[in-house]
Amino acid sequence: MRPLNLDQLASLVAIADLGGFTAAARARNLSQPAISQQIRDLEERHGVALVERLGRRVQPTLAGRELIAHARRLLAEGEAALATLKRHRDGGLGRVRIGTGTAALTYLLPPILTRLRREQPGIELAVSTGPTEEMLERLRAGTLDLGLVTLPADTEGFQVRRLRSDPIVALLPAGDAALAAAVGPRPTAPALARQTLILEGNRGSHARLIREWFAAAGLEMRAAMWLSSIEAVRHTVIAGLGCAILPSEVVAGENGRGLTVLQLEPPVNRTLALVHRREKLEDPAFRQVRRALLAQLS
């Protein structure tokens, strides 16, 4: 019998974790036809059905589930073997791939990553950004090692360590007395809904938290402007073009200059957690990076 192909096994695991060929293809940076062909080749080569469609969702058969249990161990060992070879080749400790959101990368991680590079030059760090759901998909597919994500989220199968809970706040241009009087000292959803609201993106965990906050007041989240970055939102508010709702770390220290920062009523917090797959093999580089993130963000 021909040996198993690790790429095909990785695709099978991704389909099982994500529930479909399209999501698995996106997580593995492949086309959907390429993923489908990998599974067909694997099934035909070994003469057994490995997945079945139940409505819109794809699930592994009994044979598929048993193979996936072996595949997870084989893939983890393969990752560890490659990391060992790379460490010997480069004289380093290894490579750690981190996934997180834009706000955390911009306002929380830079001093931690700078210190890690200074103290552990043998560790190669690769950082990706995206919505929490996308980061979790990539962790399941094995293309990330650690995720700094917003809770609540579907973290089944992950080791989860809650790090911090920070308030989401309303931002007004400093000195705009009329706007401050209109929204009050602790802005409510109805008060902000009547203003020119500037928001960042319309997907991801931050947008979901704001959407749920408005929905709890019986309102739909609406914005006069959707901007592509948090920094663009902050500068637009400073320029006096409206108000915004952003994580509090965005306006810490000097970043709060030119702004009035107000707590929401009722308050809403964003909880950050460090997550990784439970079966993740912990090489020295992984342990060093996880230890640094826990120490600095807890």
**174-198 per-position pLDDT tens digit:** 999 999 999 999 999 999 999 999 9
By CB neighbour count within 10 A (0-12 exposed, 13-18 middle, 19+ buried), where does 161 fall?
middle
Q: Is the pLDDT of residue 203 over 90?
A: no
* Whether the predicted pLDDT of 89 surpasses 60: yes
Q: 86-163+271-297: same fold as 6-84?
A: no
More confident residue, 102 or 203: 102
User: How much helix, strand and coil, in percent to the nearest 5, is found in the chain?
Assistant: 50, 25, 30
The domain segmentation of the chain, as residue ranges, is: 6-84, 86-163+271-297, 164-270
Q: Which CATH architecture has domain 164-270?
A: 3-Layer(aba) Sandwich (3.40)
Q: Mind listing the pLDDT tens digit for each residue in 236-276?
A: 999 999 999 999 999 988 889 999 999 999 999 999 999 99
Q: Which helix (H) or strand (E) holds 256?
A: none
Q: Hey, which CATH number is domain 6-84, 3.40.50.2300, 3.30.390.50, 3.30.70.2190, 1.10.10.10?
A: 1.10.10.10
Q: Quote the pLDDT of residue 215.
A: 96
Q: With CA atoms as reference, report the closest residue to 261 among 226, 297, 237.
A: 237
User: Residue 127's CB: how many other CB atoms inside 10 A?
Assistant: 16
Query: Which structure tokens are listed for 144?
Result: 């990330």
Number of other CB atoms surrounding residue 153 within 10 Å: 20
**Mean pLDDT value across residues 113-129:** 89
Evaluate whether 236 touches 250 at the Cβ level (below 8 Å): no
What is the per-residue pLDDT across 134-166, written as a single tens digit (0 to 9) for each? 899 889 888 899 999 999 899 998 999 999 999
- Answer whether 0.85 is exceeded by the pTM: no
- Report the chain's mean pLDDT, rounded to a whole number: 89
> At the topology level of CATH, where does 86-163+271-297 sit?
D-Maltodextrin-Binding Protein; domain 2 (3.40.190)
Could you tell me the two tokens for 206? Answer: 């931050």
Q: Is 130 helix (H, G, I), strand (E, B) or coil?
A: coil
